[in-house]
Structure 1
């Protein structure tokens, strides 16, 4: 195997929980040496459930392939140790609230004074500046404050929580990796590092692309569940099947919509979904309730109409397509325990071996 693209790059990782550790995991997967600096006793994720043979599964998944050092950053000795490490490092990732690293004497200015080539990446909820910079928050509140959650949050009597950590991963981890790689590329030309301010809230507006277009064009954003992609159209919705299963329909284009209508034998009068969307939604729902989800699966697949049953995670893990692509071939190790590694959006061309231990392994 050829060298991975980040071989020779050293990353000091001060981050905890999800956003930073996932970002540095992707860097490690691409060949970087990641030194994870934790407080004495270890970071909180080490002790989160679920656990396997006494080891935290989430911690093992997020921190495989990293080295680990415990330091009390409030002590002069630890500060000197960090500055020593920074002199030969390429990247620092931290996700403390603004001002914390400065109080420790380890902010971007101090670290880059020791090493002007250093790329310093701070991941926070609200960024390093602005009225909310010092506020606490989590994934759900970041989506709530940016208007993203209001686009599809269910009703007051049946609120719906997003099943993914959009702000943490798509607003924190992924932008951090993208900008770190851009900064390393820029450093090749200039010889200088830089400071990166990654605010998880900022990226939430990117995910409101379609709603923002309506806001600009019409002066008003779509209501809760009313947009094309949040349930306002018969063509892009979840429908209940005749059992407890669900059918996901994404037949946006006319050719897919026509194919879907044929596959489910929708009455001709309901196929013009623009004439009476509510009636069409009711009609499509009635047709799907005539069969179980498993019975619909081959019919929808044959129609090739961007519709399928909603799979459980257990079913997805055994899907022949994902299995053949090797998404679950890699393993993480926590001590002596082997478990499936977290699948990452890193090309196989850039990745290392199959099995990598977590820092305490």
Structure 2
């Protein structure tokens, strides 16, 4: 789909390389530029391969004028340059947007940083955990006991950084094709994560008048307040994901649970979140799910159109027919 799009990838670590890998998967030609000693991620083997498959890897010494001149020459034939340096570093090397535009007016420069190009936080170092913490996203990822949960998915890097960068790049390239002028894109991972919290911001405001305060853990619409939408521990200490948000799915789930009398108890039928009745129903579902092992529930719900699924381990997901074969991209195009 992106055949003919040429991208210079000056990034390291996770956000930039994953962004350009997605572009490569979509057909773009990616020239990955590494320092003379190579990308530090090469030491991680499988991670480097996962992030950089399909890329043309080249080494350039950014510290020399000859190396910088080589990059400017490559930029003449490029549509996009992606970097992850701190603000001002590319300008200091003579590789900022103004310099690149002088050799290629259509060039789109996308800079992925933690906190953006301007403001008092612009020069601060950070990693995914910091962006999660500062954006409020980490506060939204709490276990039932209230402890903050440390996700093993780097949402700041990937959702706030990689995905936002790809969206901005494709929009800027579309504009450049129509106008002949490129753009300098400022992608902040912290701000990207903050923007992703559209649901808790909206539902928090909705529930605040009922609670007299902002919802806490287990009290928001999609983090435990609804009996029909939650995580329930099974007899063997596994978890069942009940996502019967709409009444039609909850009705089917209640049939599988062999509790048809629960079907009328649903938020779309007037059951108020966090009410005594709602809390009592959640406790009843909790007790029922805890009475059987996960394999039993998975078998019972296997053919039910109820939005209820087992919580798989990564190894189980890897072996599951949904992901094991045939291999496909998450955005596979239909011919």
What is the TM-score of this pair, normalised by structure 2? 0.89
Contact 1:243 1:292 (8 Å CA) reproduced: yes
Number of aligned positions between the proteins: 323
Structure number having the greater helix percentage? 2
CA distance in 2, matches of 1:208, 1:232: 17
1:184 deviates by 1.4
Q: Where does structure 1 lack aligned partners over 5 or more consecutive residues? A: 49-55, 328-343, 351-361
**1:189 match:** 178
Higher strand fraction (1 or 2): 1
Alignment of 1:236 onto 2:218: no
SS at match of 1:128: coil
- 1:54-112 CA-to-partner distances (Å, cap 9, x unmatched) read xx000011101111222221111111111111112111000111111122221112111
Q: Pick from 31, 35, 38: which aligns with 1:39?
A: 35
What is the CA-CA distance between 1:215 and the residue it aligns to?
4.7
Q: Which residue of 2 aligns with 1:257?
A: 250
Q: 1:164 aligns with which of 127, 138, 153?
A: 153
Rate the CA distance shift 1:269–1:249 in 2: closer, same or farther, 3 A. Answer: closer
User: d(CA) in 2 for partners of 1:152 and 1:46?
Assistant: 31
Compute the TM-score of the two structures, normalised by the length of structure 1.
0.83
**Is the aligned partner of 1:20 residue 2:5?**
no
What residue is the counterpart of 2:305 in the other structure? 304
Q: 1:199 — aligned with what?
A: 188
Three-state SS of the structure 1 residue aligned to 2:126 is coil
* Distance 1:8-1:92 versus aligned 2 partners, 3 A rule: same
Choose from 6, 13, 35 the match for 1:10.
6
Say which SS state the counterpart of residue 231 (structure 1) adopts.
helix
Unaligned runs of 5+ in 2: none
Higher relative CO (Cα under 8 Å, sequence separation at least 6) belongs to 1
> CA 1:8–1:302 in 2, change beyond 3 Å: closer, same or farther?
closer
Are residues 155 and 259 of structure 1, via their aligned partners in 2, closer, same or farther at CA, if it must alter by over 3 Å? closer
Instruction: Map residues 120-135 of structure 1 onto 2, 5 A cutoff.
Output: 120-135=109-124
CA gap 1:183/1:295 in 2 versus in 1, 3 angstroms: same
Distance 2:205 2:242 in 1: 28
Question: Is the 8 Å Cα contact of residues 171 and 200 (structure 1) preserved in structure 2?
Answer: yes
Q: Does 1:276 align with 2:277?
A: yes
| Deviation string, structure 1 residues 206-233 (Cα, Å, up to 9, x no partner) | 3211221135554864323321111222
